[in-house]
Structure 1
Amino acid sequence: MGRTLENLEQFGIDVVLGRRRGFRAAILRGMLYGLSFIYERIVQLRLYLYRKRICRERTLGCLVISIGNLTVGGTGKTPVVEKFARALQVGGRRVAILSRGYKSVPKPTKRNWFDRLLTNDVDPPRVVSDGKSLMLDPVTAGDEPYMLAHNLKDVIVLVDKDRVKSGKFAIDKWKVDTLLLDDGLQYLHLKHRLDIVLVDRQAPFGNELLLPRGTLREPPRNLRRASYIFITKNTGQSNDALIARIRRYNRTAEIIECGHRPLYLQNIYTGERLVLDRLHGAFIGSICAIAAPE
């Protein structure tokens, strides 16, 4: 059963990315186009309701910075979150990172749904790090929150789908004054002071189609919400054409170009760091589980 589901998932991904041909793929693509049309209307309606204050944003009385993107997949959010957390910490801020914990597995609760209904109790967010020590394993925390917690000292890392709840928890328990929303662009229930939006230079707007037919969470014009725009994964080529397109949607946000490059090799068990020259002439095996390993 598990293998069948994996095959179906891979088939769907191949259809979305245009790697599948044939009658079945064409039928599925047609259905997905229709669903994408509905999805876009829902996305824009949701934004409209928040913009007109029909749906209310919550404020928690502290600085809230969202770091996110318009597409699914890896644009390099986690390293940027880590960079911001370090910089804010150096500047004297008390920082908490709020993640939804994508594909994390919460520990089972002893209370059933009927007990919850009667008591109205709410489970607290999962504490990945209290700033001093790791509290959860990668399975329970999720890979990215665990990595952030492992790399950042004196930074609180919490996992919960309800960022308002986890933000309030961090403020009440640790007196934090800055909340970083990891993958928070689409989380509108908590008011953001700044929206940092990442655009992958290799595939800026995915395949230009919205979910589920494509890889866009929102249409490109929604870049207008960005306070700053990071163009990630630069390889030294000119970004003039991409910047010109971005400016069609947002004329004021500062655009920052950044790249990814290895600095050193690090032993994940001992923390020992080695220079990259140690790779010369070595027989290397590579294992990767991030969104865009290329």
Structure 2
Amino acid sequence: MNQSALERAWYRRGSWAALLLPLSWLFTGLSGFRKRRLQKKVRPPFSVPVVVVGNISVGGTGKTPLLLSIIDYFTGQGFRPGVVSRGYGGKCLSYPCLVTPGSVSSEVGDEPLLYAGKCPVVVDPDRDRAVHYLLQQQDCDVVFSDDGLQHYAMQRDIEIAVIDGQRGFGNGFCLPAGPLREPPERLQTVDFVVVNTASGDFFLSHPGRYEMAIEALAFTRLGDQKVIDAHAWSGDKKVHAVAGIGHPQRFADTLQRLGFDVELHAYPDHHVFTGSELLFEDRKPVVVTAKDAVKLVDFDPGTVDVDIWSLSVAARVDEHFLQQLVQKVICCQTKKTA
């Protein structure tokens, strides 16, 4: 069974999921054992609050745009945020690695380049080490971990879980029979749950539950960097949507809501594109995600004779959530300096 077929099976109960259940039970048992072992280790707390923004499922949930919005809000409130990340999709020559304007996605990954446009970022598979290095190198007063909810070797003060409100928990099984990294009960221990575009049949009760939605902002053309408001597109409405993200259909849905006739070309998360994958016989415009666009900074659109645009989006979340998060961070800061 290929990856796409497996993912389809995750979001409905069927024979494939049933066959894989024994492996899911093994995965859950081993993960639980590892979690308990790591949590028993006594680690000194960091000097600043550490906030994990992650999820309990594989695939895209909207975590990246949410964290970008959180960074913007905290910066606007006078904080000095920093980010640590595993750097999925990249491989540095050595770790920890401070992301710089000259960094490339093949070394540091996709998301870190987006965050680095807003605040200091360090990538390292060892997130605990990444936090120490970030605090040594940069004057940050709060650290956000991009993903890492299951990285129990890293001490944390606040946890935010992001849930795909359209796909929910899929068939409810843990890997490999389902999409879950941990059982849904894990959400009972996090501080906040942010649900991205909840569908009518998705129900989740949590005292720290908030809603978010993805809003399209603007198109930027690769090459000359021409910018067009997302709602002011006057060109051909028939486009090729090319995406190497966790949930490509959500990207296509966003374009369709803007009135586009979309042909989706979905690739695995963190996929590295070649020129031929962006070339189509009809020469219709190609639209990629902002996350994929960072991998195309050195790509010359003239080599494929077609317009390639990236679509930037933003997470619109209840401001009460952001205010509550700020209050928790301030409370943590007070305790750490007492």
TM bucket normalised to smaller: 0.7 to 0.9
RMSD: 2.4
Structure 1 position 232 matched with structure 2 position 200: no
Report the counterpart of residue 93 of structure 1 in structure 2.
79
- Deviation of 1:29 after TM superposition, in Å, equals 5.2
Report the counterpart of residue 49 of structure 2 in structure 1.
63
Q: Kindly provide the CA deviation profile for residues 26-50 of structure 1, in whole angstroms up to 9, marking residues without a partner as x.
A: 6x75652211101111222333345
TM-score by length of 1: 0.75
**8 Å contact 2:50–2:142 — kept in the other structure?**
yes
Return the alpha-carbon distance in structure 2 between the equivalents of residues 93 and 159 of structure 1. Answer: 21
Q: Kindly provide the CA deviation profile for residues 95-117 of structure 1, in whole angstroms up to 9, marking residues without a partner as x.
A: 2111101121323xxxxxxxxxx
Which of 8, 17, 33 aligns to 2:21? It is: 33
- Deviation of 1:58 after TM superposition, in Å, equals 4.5
Q: Which letter does structure 2 place at the counterpart of 1:87?
A: Y
**8 Å contact 1:209–1:216 — kept in the other structure?**
yes
Which SS does the other structure have where 1:265 is aligned?
strand
Q: Which letter does structure 1 place at the counterpart of 2:24?
A: S
TM-score by length of 2: 0.66
Which SS does the other structure have where 2:66 is aligned?
helix
Which of 232, 237, 242 aligns to 2:202? It is: 242
Cα distance 1:56–1:14, how it changes in 2: closer, same or farther (>3 A)?
Answer: farther
**8 Å contact 2:9–2:17 — kept in the other structure?**
no
Cα distance 1:268–1:54, how it changes in 2: closer, same or farther (>3 A)?
Answer: same
Return the alpha-carbon distance in structure 1 between the equivalents of residues 241 and 25 of structure 2. Answer: 40
State the number of aligned residues: 245
Which of 247, 251, 267 aligns to 2:221? It is: 267
Report the counterpart of residue 128 of structure 1 in structure 2.
99
**8 Å contact 1:209–1:215 — kept in the other structure?**
yes
The sequence identity of aligned pairs, in percent, is: 24
Q: Which letter does structure 1 place at the counterpart of 2:107?
A: T
Which of 133, 152, 157 aligns to 1:193? It is: 157
Say which structure is richer in strand.
Answer: 2
**8 Å contact 1:17–1:207 — kept in the other structure?**
no
Gaps of 5+ in 1: 1-9, 20-24, 108-122
Return the alpha-carbon distance in structure 1 between the equivalents of residues 51 and 223 of structure 2. Answer: 32
Q: Which letter does structure 1 place at the counterpart of 2:5?
A: D
Structure 1 position 157 matched with structure 2 position 121: yes
Q: Which letter does structure 2 place at the counterpart of 1:292?
A: H
Return the alpha-carbon distance in structure 1 between the equivalents of residues 174 and 223 of structure 2. Answer: 41
Return the alpha-carbon distance in structure 1 between the equivalents of residues 6 and 237 of structure 2. Answer: 38
**8 Å contact 1:266–1:272 — kept in the other structure?**
yes
Q: Kindly provide the CA deviation profile for residues 131-179 of structure 1, in whole angstroms up to 9, marking residues without a partner as x.
A: xxx1311111111112222x42xx1111101111111111111122211
Report the counterpart of residue 9 of structure 2 in structure 1.
18
Which SS does the other structure have where 1:98 is aligned?
strand
Which of 73, 76, 99 aligns to 2:62? It is: 76
Which of 142, 151, 155 aligns to 2:109? It is: 142
Structure 1 position 202 matched with structure 2 position 166: yes
**8 Å contact 2:79–2:142 — kept in the other structure?**
yes
Q: Which letter does structure 2 place at the counterpart of 1:164?
A: D
Which of 245, 256, 271 aligns to 2:210? It is: 256
**8 Å contact 2:220–2:228 — kept in the other structure?**
yes
Return the alpha-carbon distance in structure 1 between the equivalents of residues 170 and 242 of structure 2. Answer: 24
Which SS does the other structure have where 1:146 is aligned?
helix
Structure 1 outlier segments of 4+, above 4 Å? 28-31, 268-271
